[in-house]
Amino acid sequence: MKVLRTPNMERCIGCYSCSLACARNVYKSLSWKRAGIQIRSSGGISTGFEARICLACDPAACAEACPTEALRQRPGGGVFFKEKRCINCAECSRACPVGAIYFDPVKETPVLCLHCGRCVSYCPHECLEMVDTAKENK
């Protein structure tokens, strides 16, 4: 399966088009926070930008931490999320080693990258890419 990678973040101009696309198309929101890909400057704009996304762990610490299997391992890396199984405990968010799960304080559910790739076409500088993990390390 393909996963979202960010191979060219050096090119990022900080427009947030990817974040806004994820919020709009996946999380049906207008938001910087309700987005599976979050763009941050690391110490001000002069230092460039980083993308905070799910790194497609396998095994995924968040899925292991989830007590109700709302998050389950996705073949090839990352997780599937079933909202109706979620008991809003936020264990996943705490377990993620790279801080890539935003726990929405209003809906009390995790916001994370589902590796759907809907953000990719909105990046004006090809910072983002969908990659087949099976081929990635060959």
**Are 118 and 20 spatial neighbours (Cβ–Cβ below 8 Å)?**
no
Q: Does 32 bind other proteins (CB under 8 A)?
A: yes
Is 40 a residue that touches other proteins (CB under 8 A)?
yes
* Residue 116 lies near other proteins (rule: CB under 8 A): no
- Residue 109: closest CA among 84, 77, 75: 84
16 in contact with other proteins (CB under 8 A)? yes
- Residue 44 contacts other proteins per CB under 8 A: yes
DSSP class of residue 67 equals: T
Each residue of 117-137: b (16+ CB within 10 Å) or e?
Answer: ebbbebbeeebbeebebeeee
Report the residue from 3, 4, 22, 23 that binds other proteins according to the rule CB under 8 A: 23
Residue whose CB is less far from other proteins, 25 or 73: 25
Question: Residue 47: which residues within 8 A CB-CB, separation 6 or more?
Answer: 41
Query: What x/- string results for residues 58 through 77 when contact with other proteins is judged by CB under 8 A?
Result: --------------------
Q: Is 34 in the site for other proteins (CB under 8 A)?
A: yes
